[in-house]
Amino acid sequence: MQATPQPIFKRGPSLAVRLAFFSLLSLVLLVSDARFRYLEGIRSVVSVVLYPLQQAASLPGTLLTRTGEFFVTQSALYRENEQLKREALLSAPQLQRLTALEAENAQLLRLIDARPAPERKTTIAEVLYESRDPFTRKVVIDRGTSHDVHEGQAVIDNVGVVGQITRVFPFVSEVSLITDKNQSVPVQNSRSGLRSVTFGLGHDGALELRFIPVNADIQTGDVLVTSGIDGTYPAGLPVATVANIERNAAFAFARITCTPSAGVSSFNRVLVLSAPPPAAPNPLKTEPVPERPRKGASKP
């Protein structure tokens, strides 16, 4: 028998042991993040470290756009200006009518003693980059908790609903697009008033309406707007257009695919709507009645 000699070089634990250690640590992190969301604090810290790197990474693109903007020809500017003037002129009567209608609507709501929909504050944000994760549909915008952005706020662009803020960091936040597999938006058919919910499919340019009976009143080309019953999205924002309906009598539900209205993957600037006001208490949920000492229950 030979005694094992003293190692000449100190090496620490072997590579395989270290791999096992880090794998185990990663698994613990994965489970605690996926199931319990314990690690949001650490994420915020890391995101602050990442912020300057992100700025550096988007610098070439920004510079390119800026330079492009600088060399825009005068004729292009002139044309755009003309178009904007025309659009402003066209929308002016509509705007005036809107003001009148809003006043009338508020008065009517007061008459029937309903609460008018509160106005929401908006924040303009710029899309920094699309998340490189191919499993989800997310973008990162340049507004965070330091700009009073909170989780759950709705994000829209000039055409319709873009998504919802699902994670906030000090300077940036993540927006889950409505095409994400875990995102659903309660909608209403603007033609027939039929209410339902759109579900993301996990890839660009398509949404799905589930659990719509085969004989429901829905047609290709119908515009779906938010119904507002979830309290996240204000009512009446365009979400999608019905693109294809497959009615098969063998199944209880029709297969309906829609195209999102907003340029869900091609926008540059978006609007973050401030958090909805606290919802009215749910009358169906009764609070536990605090136990009162009963009169006859005193100890003998």
Closer to other proteins by CB, 45 or 229: give it. 45
* Rounded Cα gap, residues 147 and 124, in angstroms: 10
Supply the minimum distance, in Å, between the C-beta of residue 56 and other proteins.
Answer: 5
Closer to other proteins by CB, 120 or 181: give it. 181
DSSP letters of 115-162? PPPPP--EEEEEEEEE---TTS-EEEES--GGGT--TT-EEE-SSSEE
Closest CA to 197 of 150, 240, 165: 240
Tokens of 86: 């025309």
- For residues 177 and 163, the answer to whether their CB atoms sit within 8 Å is yes
Question: What single letter denotes the amino acid at residue 174?
Answer: E
Closer to other proteins by CB, 208 or 223: give it. 208
Supply the minimum distance, in Å, between the C-beta of residue 74 and other proteins.
Answer: 28
Supply the minimum distance, in Å, between the C-beta of residue 32 and other proteins.
Answer: 8
Supply the minimum distance, in Å, between the C-beta of residue 48 and other proteins.
Answer: 10
Q: Is 123 exposed, middle or buried (0-12, 13-18, 19+ CB in 10 A)?
A: middle
Closer to other proteins by CB, 36 or 111: give it. 36
Within 10 A of 178 (CB to CB), how many other CB atoms are there? 27
Supply the minimum distance, in Å, between the C-beta of residue 68 and other proteins.
Answer: 15
Interface residues toward other proteins, by CB under 8 A? 15-16, 18-19, 22-23, 25-30, 32-34, 39, 42-43, 46-47, 49-50, 53-54, 56-58, 60-61, 128-136, 138, 140, 167, 174, 181, 202, 204, 265
Closer to other proteins by CB, 174 or 222: give it. 174
Supply the minimum distance, in Å, between the C-beta of residue 284 and other proteins.
Answer: 30
Within 10 A of 256 (CB to CB), how many other CB atoms are there? 24
Please name the residue that has the structure tokens 């936040």. 173
Supply the minimum distance, in Å, between the C-beta of residue 257 and other proteins.
Answer: 16
Closer to other proteins by CB, 22 or 251: give it. 22
**C-alpha pair distances (Å), 286 with each of 66, 109, 162, 283:** 57, 28, 35, 7
Tokens of 277: 């006001």
Closer to other proteins by CB, 131 or 274: give it. 131
What one-character DSSP code corresponds to residue 108? H
What one-character DSSP code corresponds to residue 169? -
